[in-house]
Structure 1
Amino acid sequence: MAQSIAQPTAGSPAVPTKLPLRAIAPWALFFGILMLVLLYFVGAEQGATSVFNGTDIHEWVHDGRHLLGFPCH
């Protein structure tokens, strides 16, 4: 079975396109806010700054809290 290899044409060289900042900024903001919310729940969701009553969230993120070096007891 013969296979052919495509040869490059003599046109202009391929130039990588740049993503405009306007396309990246909303996603960067979204993921930045998401990371701050996750950091709050892992690092500060207990005691006086607690948003939710009880210890459910503390128990859900307990191992992650120790992994990231946050004290919790």
Structure 2
Amino acid sequence: MAQSIAPAAADVPAIAPISLKAVAPWALFVGMLMLVLLYFVGAEQGATALLSGEQVHEWVHDGRHLLGFPCH
């Protein structure tokens, strides 16, 4: 029973680490997208409204309450 059924370590290819230069643009994009979504859910009404009407408010109404933003 001295035999092992696991492959030798030399058979497993090495995984190269992901560089910060490769991740930074995606992290910036996702961060900006999250800020835009947070604005539309939390502040798109009243004095800071970018769009007129109540369409955005109605689309994000339940999400607004779920995140704790008062709206009425």
Query: What's the TM-score, normalizing by structure 2?
Result: 0.82
Could you tell me which runs of 5 or more consecutive residues in structure 2 were left unpaired when the two chains were aligned.
1-5
Cα RMSD (Å) of the superposition?
2.2
Measured after TM superposition, the shift of residue 57 of structure 1 is: 0.1
Other-structure match for 1:24: 23
In structure 2, the CA distance between the partners of 1:56 and 1:14, relative to structure 1 (3 Å rule), is same
Other-structure match for 2:49: 50
Measured after TM superposition, the shift of residue 46 of structure 1 is: 0.2
Seq. identity, %: 66
Other-structure match for 2:66: 67
Query: What's the TM-score, normalizing by structure 1?
Result: 0.81
- How far does the alpha carbon of each residue in 1:21-71 deviate from its partner, in whole angstroms, 9 at most, with x for none? 000000000000000000000000000000000010000000000000000
How many correspondences in the alignment? 68
